[in-house]
Amino acid sequence: MADTNRTDLAAEVREFLSTRRARITPEQAGLPVYGGNRRVSGLRREEVALLAGVSVDYYIRLERGNLSGASDSVLDALARALQLNEAERTHLYDLARASNPSSRRPVVTASRVRPTILRLLDSMTDVPAYVRNARFDVLAANALGRALYAPVFDSPLFAQRGPVNTARFLFLDPAGQDFWTDWNKAADDSVAFLRSETGRAPHDKALTDLIGELTTKSEEFARRWARHDVNIHRSGVKRLHHPLVGDLALPYEAMDLPADPGLRLNFYTPEPDSPAREALDLLASWADAGTAAPSRNR
């Protein structure tokens, strides 16, 4: 098992570095180009080594998947050479940490939502809110959060197995195409977040099982997974189509819960008097009245 994990990690490092290298042209890196017979559109290994200030042999060793022993200064130089963004830089450091036996520490993920967080959710009566883990399992939600995500909670995918999981719904339930108005962006973001999580928690079996399931059952997921893109979601605008109140553009915040490793509080805060605010107020009134809101197009 340990050998398999090392092989998988080496492959992850190799594909991540090679795909980042392939996307940068010499012109973008500020390198001169002589002649027109380049066999690759991106940077060569020799060029990355030059930009990072390391030997070609050493860079080849890194790209073959051996980040063990790479210093922070080398990782920083590599991140600059490959023009990595914040999420990609974090992923590189996570991969290096996982590759180094002396710095490996088990990643602990909370498995339950504490009563204080549940009370906080229930007190947030005018905004949809929920708590999820890094595998997109929804572990708790307030009443408005459940009403907003009714199509997900009511999906046949979760009738006989739990927990509710937004990634499974996104890729395996056809209703996901209707719920996310910009489905492609939602799909890209979800896969990139899961890819980031594999660097942070490479030995999380539940995560590996989820990725294996989605890769096998969804060509859209498998195609995106092969890109090795990573991303971090902290805030933005979520665009959803609710079958009861129509299209919604909802600003959101995603906040890690420091006392509950791996858990995150997501909530939506539309502008006062905006169409999204009015739609949520309408949805809240139905939820408060206990009215069964239609959650799927029938």
DSSP assignment of 198-233: HHH-TT-HHHHHHHHHHHHH-HHHHHHHTTT-----
Gap between the terminal Cα atoms of the chain: 47
At 260 the pLDDT is 93
Return d(Cα 55, Cα 159) in angstroms, integer.
56
Q: Residue type for 263, please?
A: L
At 203 the pLDDT is 82
At 41 the pLDDT is 76
Q: What are 137's strand-pairing partners?
A: 165
From residue 122, alpha-carbon distances to 115, 130, 144, 262, 298 in Å are: 10, 10, 9, 21, 31
| SS3 of 269-288 | CCCCCCHHHHHHHHHHHHHH
Whether residue 151 contacts residue 175, with contact meaning beta carbons closer than 8 Å, is answered with yes
At 290 the pLDDT is 58
| SS3 of 120-155 | HHHHCCCCCEEEEECCCEEEEECHHHHHHCHHHHCC
Return d(Cα 80, Cα 74) in angstroms, integer.
10
Residue 56: phi, psi to the nearest 5?
Answer: -60, -45
pLDDT by residue, tens only, the chain of 298 residues: 344 466 788 899 999 999 999 999 999 999 887 666 677 779 999 999 999 999 999 999 999 999 988 999 999 999 999 999 999 999 999 999 988 866 556 566 777 899 999 999 999 999 999 999 999 999 999 999 999 999 999 999 998 787 999 999 999 999 999 999 999 999 999 999 999 999 888 888 999 999 999 999 999 999 999 999 999 888 999 999 999 999 999 999 999 999 998 899 999 999 999 999 999 999 998 877 655 444 433 3
State how far Cα 7 lies from the chain centre: 23
Residue 241: phi, psi to the nearest 5?
Answer: -120, 110
Q: What's the token pair of residue 115? A: 């009563």
Q: Which domains does the chain have, with CATH numbers?
A: 2-103 (1.10.260.40), 115-289 (3.30.450.180)
Q: CB under 8 Å to 94, separation ≥6 — which residues?
A: 196, 199, 200
